Amino acid sequence: MHFSSRLLSDSEKERAHQETLRILSEAGVLYHSEKALHLLETNGAVVDWAKKIAHIPEEMVVQTLQTAPKDFVLGARNPLHDYPLPSEVSRYALDGTGAFALDFVTGERRYGTDNDSALGLRVFQAMDMGVGAWAPVSAEDKPAHARPLHEFFTMMKYTSKHGQHEVHNVRQVPYLAEGLIAVMGGEDEVRRRHAYSLIYCPVAPLMHDGPMMDAYLELGSLDMPVMTLPMPVTGTTGPVSLFGNICVANAEALSTILVIQLCHPGRPVIYSSATGTMDLRNGSYLGGTPEMGLMSAALAEMGRFYGLPATSAGCTSDAREPGPDAVLEKVITSIAPVLGGSDIIVGFGEVDSDQLLVLEQIVVDNEIAHFCERIFQGVDVQQEKVLTEDILTLGPGGNFLTRRSTRRMARSGELYISDLLDRHTLEQWTKLGRPGLYSNARKRVEQILSEPMVDPLPDQVLGAMEKILAGADKELAGYTQS
């Protein structure tokens, strides 16, 4: 019996849907992409070209959603890491594009570099609860005009799990396409395997970036899946109420998916969200709150309402540094979407409102994921675990340590045994140097980074990628995004 929950009743999901339809139709959505506006107008939306706002009717929403695949396999460079969607369990993705990294050697907080992403991806590769990678920091040491390409290629190089990232304009698309084809061994394999996907974040409230959307429509020729990640924040870019913010996020998600499907019917899409809350004391953004976890769970349920693969942000923290504050916030923002059935929870590895990469945190977050998984697994009532006969045999005062059932189940997973938490006696713990969650995680990171890289790309592919990036660095220089 799995321990699951339902946050929104059927009538509440229908209410959220109806309120969303009103938003799409009456307020409309602003698209800076002329291609998107033409697609919408051709298919029944009323477009105010002066304001670039599309008013989207209910019939169009219902009809277009029917073309979106209800299930597909999120592939990986190594097929052993393929992940079917939707999933019966929750798994996790590395958080992405933070501004800063905590230097693993010096402990210095500084701007992130391409090497920080490489290290984070190597650690993530070893995490058994992680299925999706994202370039964890913005590579400050790479040229801005080609930076997302460097980040994408680094991700392809340092992990063989599914990779998701972004590009910013159409001019970057040919370089990404060439890199994907080099890594996957052909254009058909890129389309067939779905080993790499795109993350698309609408601009809250109810707006879409033109150059990025145009680039994503262009990449539809490779059938790249798109995860839409709306980010309205209660009280600033979204209504202060959780339900109101959920409706805005839902409208932003649907208004993304509609354009993707109108341009390429049947292209894989993933319904997702990364909402936040405003600190009412000072106006700052917060992502490590109970309310964020609740909105993530509710929006995952809305994704299921539409019959789509549904993921969410979670395992997030506003703590300035790793420690107990981070663990508390990451647990509270993970457990709700886990129990709500989110396919993938995006948030591994970062603190400080998703802006600071900490290598040890990736390992700690993997342990948090295991604890949440054990809660989700619930209580197993199969006959072999009833054990009434043992109880009757021993009776009052008996010691169950003597029973074969105890030995049989010692390593069955019935009782989760943590590799990171210290369970020694006080005397042993003191002699061992008082190890704890983060010190043990640090040892695990050191071990991973000392070992050979897993699933390295062939030298000829690496050479091709370097050539592509050199071309992008040179040829995109001086381009100004309109």
DSSP string, 290-315: HHHHHHHHHHHHHHHHTTS-B-EE-S
SS3 468: helix
Length of the chain: 482
* Tokens linked to 198: 């795109």
The answer as to whether 399 is a domain residue is no
The answer as to whether 435 is a domain residue is no
The answer as to whether 40 is a domain residue is no
Q: Give the predicted TM-score (pTM) of the model.
A: 0.95
Structural domain including 367 reads 63-377
pLDDT (tens place) for every residue of the chain, 482 residues total: 678 889 999 999 999 999 999 999 999 999 999 999 999 999 999 999 999 999 999 999 999 999 999 999 999 999 999 999 999 999 999 999 999 999 999 999 999 999 999 999 999 999 999 999 999 999 999 999 999 999 999 999 999 999 999 999 999 999 999 999 999 999 999 999 999 999 999 999 999 999 999 999 999 999 999 999 999 999 999 999 999 999 999 999 999 999 999 999 999 999 999 999 999 899 999 999 999 999 999 999 999 999 999 999 999 999 999 999 999 999 999 999 999 999 999 999 999 999 999 999 999 999 999 999 999 999 999 898 999 999 999 999 999 999 999 988 888 888 999 989 999 999 999 999 999 999 999 999 999 999 999 999 999 999 999 999 999 999 999 765 54
Number of neighbours of residue 360 by Cβ within 10 angstroms: 22
> Smallest Cα–Cα separation from 273: which of 320, 337, 195?
337
SS3 77: coil
Considering all CA atoms of the chain, what is the largest pairwise distance in Å, rounded to the nearest integer?
A: 82
CA separation for the pair 107, 419 (Å, rounded): 24
CA separation for the pair 78, 114 (Å, rounded): 23
**CATH code at position 363:** 3.20.20.480
The answer as to whether 124 is a domain residue is yes
CA separation for the pair 371, 428 (Å, rounded): 25
Residues 6+ apart with CB under 8 A from 277: 233, 234, 235, 285, 286, 287, 289, 291, 292
CA separation for the pair 273, 468 (Å, rounded): 32
The answer as to whether 447 is a domain residue is no
The answer as to whether 1 is a domain residue is no
Q: How many domains is the chain partitioned into structurally? A: 1
Euclidean distance between the first and the last CA atom of the chain, given in angstroms as a whole number? 54
CA separation for the pair 421, 444 (Å, rounded): 13
The answer as to whether 353 is a domain residue is yes
The answer as to whether 84 is a domain residue is yes
